[in-house]
Amino acid sequence: MNVAGIDVAHKTLDVVIRKNGKTTKACSFENTSTGHRRLDETLRKARVTRVGLEATGVYHFDLAVMLHQSNRFELMVINPKAAKHYAQARMTRSKTDALDAAMLAEFVEHMPFEPWQCPDGSKLALRVATRRLAALTKQRTQAKNQLHASQQSQFIPEFVTDDIELTIARLDQQIDSMLANVLSLVEKDSNLKTIFDRLLTVKGISSKSAIALMGEILVLPEDMSARQWVAMAGLDPRQHQSGTSVDKPARISKAGNKYLRSALYMPALSASRTEEHVRGYYQHLIEQRHLKKIQAVCAVMRKLLHAIHAMLSNQSNFDGSRFYCAPAQNAH
């Protein structure tokens, strides 16, 4: 079996092919549509059957879609943390693009192969748009913090404050425009609209939160379980115990999609205050299990993600009584 590893960068693709367990010399292509076609031809001539590349933000997506649609190769998009740990296990001393490509080829050859499932175009477009919306919102928050700081000092020139206010106003316009365009994208797709309306049945999930959640959830493979969703969001507990001297309290791993965690935070916080059953669960965690408030919110985020998985799997609206039901009080 011939396999290939591709190290993806902003402008270049470094490729290493392994034939019968032997590594060939690395070659490089431009990370453009023309470079993708040249790469496809090279892999086809080398009779490559499996390809592995590392997830690198937005830079790998067009290449991954092209390789998937060619129907010539099985494609695996490798989690960067898994690739890093594999390289550490091999005690790799140096790091170059060519060595990374060779390591990815070995990863594909020796590790369990998990084929990548390509989302449809509308879901990919939604994710790109919602992440842009998240970036604009973050920039606005930073600008507002800068404005607050500038107003606390008498030495900040007035024109600096005016410039910050202008930046905030411009970002407000961009956010409103982007949000309107994303909502229009959802309205035009009946499947997206159905999911959007279903998420809004959760008291605490706003329109903006709903599209942010959809942008991250809908690109995941359809056969993923709720527990895999939780792990993907980095909300699974991480144990740190060794021998008798090291036994730290469990914490969330954060080894996952930060955008999904961020999209869940405000809905969980809002639902903990406004939705009867979610509030009951939150208070149970605080009063009975003695968790700190932030720990309780993280637990609500995890349980809410389970609930959303069930809603989409069963095509049903949110049912608070299934989220949490307070134990009956003993009569005296």
| Residue 193 forms part of a structural domain | no
The per-residue b/e assignment along 21-51, b for 16 or more CB within 10 angstroms, e otherwise, is: eebeebebbebeeebbeebbeebeebebebb
- Together in a domain, 103 and 172: no
The answer to whether the beta carbons of residues 308 and 201 sit under 8 Å apart is no
- Together in a domain, 332 and 208: yes
User: Rounded to the nearest 5 degrees, what angle is found at the Cα of 272, between the Cα atoms of 248 and 282?
Assistant: 45
| Residue 212 forms part of a structural domain | yes
What is the predicted pLDDT for the residue at 331?
Answer: 46
- Together in a domain, 57 and 132: no
| Residue 244 forms part of a structural domain | no
Q: What is the mean pLDDT of each run of 10 residues along the chain (332 residues)?
A: 92 93 92 92 94 82 87 90 89 88 94 88 91 95 94 89 96 97 95 96 96 93 86 75 56 79 96 95 94 93 96 95 77 46
What is the predicted pLDDT for the residue at 94?
Answer: 85
Listing DSSP states for 273-312 in one string gives: HH-HHHHHHHHHHHHTS---HHHHHHHHHHHHHHHHHHHH
Write the CB contacts of 69 (distance below 8 Å, at least 6 apart in sequence). Answer: 118
- Together in a domain, 104 and 126: no
| Residue 331 forms part of a structural domain | yes
| Residue 211 forms part of a structural domain | yes
| Residue 61 forms part of a structural domain | yes
- Together in a domain, 102 and 30: yes
Into how many domains does the chain fold? 3
What is the predicted pLDDT for the residue at 26?
Answer: 93
In which element (H, E) is residue 23 found?
strand 22-23
Computed over every residue of the chain, the mean pLDDT equals: 90
Q: Mapped to the 3 state alphabet, what secondary structure does 47-99 carry?
A: CCCEEEEECCCCCCHHHHHHHHHHCCCEEEEECHHHHHHHHHHCCCCCCCHHH
| Residue 70 forms part of a structural domain | yes
| CATH at residue 51 | 3.30.420.40
- Together in a domain, 58 and 96: yes
- Together in a domain, 176 and 259: no
What is the predicted pLDDT for the residue at 239?
Answer: 54
- Together in a domain, 106 and 133: no
Q: Which domain holds residue 38?
A: 2-110
What is the predicted pLDDT for the residue at 329?
Answer: 56
